[in-house]
Amino acid sequence: MARRSSRQMVQSKSATESKSHILEKGVSAAVNGIKAVVNASKAEVNERKNPKRKATHTEPHVDGEDLDSIDPTEDKEREEEGDQLQGTKKPAAKRRKTASKKDAENNMPLAARTAITSLKRAMYIGAHVSGAGGVQNAIQNASNIGANAFALFLKSQRKWVSPPLADECKTQFHAMLKQHSYDSRKHILPHGSYLVNLAQADAEKATQAYDSFLDDLQRCEALGITLYNFHPGSTGGASMESACARIAAQLNRAHKATESVVTLLENMCGSGNVVGSRFEDLRDIIALVDDKSRVGVCLDTCHAFAAGYDLRSPEAFAETMAEFDRVVGTEYLRALHLNDSKAPFGSHRDLHANIGTGFLGLRAFHNIMNHEALQGLPMVLETPIDEKGPDGKTVENKQIWADEIKLLESLIGMDVESDGFREKEEALQAKGATERQKIQEQVDKKAEKDAKKEAKGKKKSKKKKDEDTCDSCSEND
Ligand SMILES: [Zn+2]
């Protein structure tokens, strides 16, 4: 177990509460499981009602928005942030009410921050928090969940054009940074817009994407933030090689137009047109970036696993890290997104699960938390926190993040053979069992369908002659 700092002792009430909350969670797993099933079946109904959206689950959006990678939680947050940052269609009174309710929630500390010096390894763990009402609010939100690192959106994720960063927000951001002593050069990791696709081949759309991207980088510099994470993009049907070249060219332009911000490519999990599912894509982009000190990688554990990079056993984890080093280079690894996966290994589906409840499981995170080379990097949870409130409405339960941060910190130096670890591992796996089974069935069904399609195609092509090679190979590659 992690040793506790004196600061934590003083504030230990909320910490203890959060600890007991973790235990309670095991007990209430069955209840939550049922809730999850209800939510999941609702989502399925919605998917069926909206086949267009479902279609995008395998193919990225034409504008580069890989809808597959969008977590419903993020979706909601993005809309909220959009409304509040952009001026909104909501009536003013309602807006005020929402804002004041939000303010109250924002000021609720759910867990104390763990002093990094009290940990056996310097792991800076946090979550992607909301910056609704102004980027400065993200700092309080991060502090409230006991985060030592955090991510945020710098502007609305729904719109191409946003009002400039207000001086007041900037001043408050710097003041809050000081007050909460976060190092903006190391442990704050803004997330890029999902609308932006730097691989865009269409000249007009490429300009739109670049302008929005550059605007984000300029916001980073105004806020004193060094790291910036974004999804590489989509080929749009063009070759992977040309897509990587376009991304690198845009990065070179953006680096010249700014001074210090380091752009981090996120590894992805989709197949086909998605850029970044293979470490080789990341390598090929980096190879074409002129200033290597301005580019790096943010490794998303869920994406890596779903893309076919195993992290579960110590051996598999070591092999994946070794492969990253061989292909990309460990020196480029600058940040992590910590997410478990609701979808099985190599399924190419992007479904974030709460830590320990997914197919990755607690052992994968034990491997990560005890890997020396990852010390000092920002590690950001993007796990689901939506729950059904007493009135049946979906509400965000930020206590989940507060607990996950403490859980991850507790894995540092923990013995995986200990009863404490095994009990936690079992309880969390039980909690996610229904959801894992559901997604496994979906994946199996799709594989069956694909196999049938492939068999049919083979028959046809055999009739034709043997001139065509199997086209599903490129999909699985
Ligand atoms: Zn991510």
Per-residue pLDDT of 281-319, as tens digits, reads 999 999 999 999 999 999 999 999 999 999 999 999 999
Q: Which of these is catalytic: 352, 363, 366, 436?
A: 352
Domains of the chain: 6-458 (3.20.20.150)
pLDDT band at 19 (very low <50, low <70, confident <90, very high): very low
Rounded to 5°, the CA angle 121-279-238 comes to 145
**CA-to-CA dists, residue 345 to 257, 301, 341, angstroms:** 40, 11, 9
| Of 21, 78, 303, 312, catalytic | 303
CA of 460 from ligand 1 middle (Å) equals 40
Confidence of residue 258 (pLDDT cuts 50, 70, 90): very high
End-to-end CA gap in the chain: 41
How far is it, in rounded angstroms, from Cα 370 to Cα 317? 11
- Rounded CA-CA distance 134/136 in Å is 5
Active site residue 231: yes
pLDDT tops 90 at residue 464: no
Q: Is 128 a catalytic residue?
A: no
**Per-residue model confidence (pLDDT) at position 106:** 52
From 246, 312, 337, 366, active-site residue: 337
CB atoms inside a 10 Å sphere around CB 86: 15
Non-local CB neighbours of 342 within 8 Å, separated by 6+ positions: 349, 351, 352, 353, 358, 359, 432, 435, 436, 439
Q: Which of 373, 381, 419 is nearest to 400 (CA)?
A: 381
Predicted pLDDT of residue 62: 25
- CA 93 to centroid of ligand 1, rounded, Å: 35
80 counts as catalytic: no
* pLDDT band at 456; cut points 50, 70, 90: confident
Determine the average pLDDT of the residues in 21-41: 38
Ligand 1 centroid–CA 368 distance in Å is: 16
Catalytic residue, chosen from 266, 284, 340, 404, is 266
pLDDT digit string, tens, across residues 376-403: 999 999 999 999 888 999 999 999 999 9
Across 40-54, 201-215, 302-316, 431-445, least confident range? 40-54
Residue 303: active-site member: yes
For residue 456, the CA-to-ligand 1 centroid distance in Å is: 37
* Annotation marks residue 158 as catalytic: yes
The answer on pLDDT for 222 being more than 80 is yes
Percent with pLDDT over 70 in the chain: 74
Nearest CA to 128 out of 69, 64, 40 is that of: 69
Check if 300 is active-site. yes
| Catalytic residue list contains 180 | no
pLDDT at 460 over 90: no
Per the CB < 8 A criterion, the answer to whether 265 and 298 are in contact is yes
Per-residue pLDDT at 264: 98
Tens-digit pLDDT profile for residues 67-112: 223 333 333 333 333 333 333 334 444 445 555 555 555 578 999 9
Predicted TM-score (pTM) above 0.85: no
Of the candidate ranges 83-92, 166-175, 210-219, 335-344, the one whose mean pLDDT is the lowest: 83-92
Write a three-state SS string for the chain.
CCCCCHHHHHCHHHHHHHHHHHHHHHHCHHHHHHHHHHHHHHHHHHHHHCHHHHHCCCCCCCCCCCHHHCCHHHHHHHHHHHHHHHCCCCCHHHHHHHHHHHHHHHCCCCCCCCCHHHCCCCCEEEEECCCCCCCCHHHHHHHHCCCCEEECCCCCCCCCCCCCCCHHHHHHHHHHHHHHCCCCCCCECCECCCCCCCCCCCHHHHHHHHHHHHHHHHHHHHCCCCEEEECCEECCCCCHHHHHHHHHHHHHHHHHHCCCCEEEEECCCCCCCEECCCHHHHHHHHHCCCCHHHEEEEEEHHHHHHCCCCCCCHHHHHHHHHHHHHHCCHHHEEEEEECEECCCCCCCCCCEECCCCCCCHHHHHHHHHCCHHHCCCEEEECCCCEEECCCCCEEECCHHHHHHHHHHHHCCCCCCCCHHHHHHHHHHHHHHHHHHHHHHHHHHHHHHHHHHHHHHHHHHHHHHCCCCCCCHHHHHC
Hunting for tokens 């190092």 — which residue is that? 183
Among candidate residues 74, 77, 80, 300, the one labeled active-site is 300
Q: What is the mean pLDDT of residues 251-255?
A: 98
Q: What is the average per-residue pLDDT within 436-463?
A: 87
Dihedrals phi, psi of 365, to nearest 5 degrees: -75, -25
pLDDT tens-place string over residues 163-183 = 999 999 999 999 999 999 999
Residue 26 burial (C-beta neighbours within 10 Å; 0-12, 13-18, 19+): middle
Residue 459 Cα to ligand 1 middle (Å)? 40
- The answer, yes or no, to whether residue 344 has pLDDT greater than 60, is yes
For residues 260 and 227, what is the distance between their CA atoms, to the nearest angstrom? 9
In this model, does residue 17 exceed pLDDT 90?
no
Query: Which one from 124, 194, 210, 332 is the annotated catalytic residue?
Result: 194
Q: Give pLDDT tens digits for 260-272.
A: 999 999 999 998 9
Query: Is 21 noted as a catalytic residue in this protein?
Result: no
Q: Please give the pLDDT value at position 457.
A: 80
- Give the percent of the chain with pLDDT over 90: 69
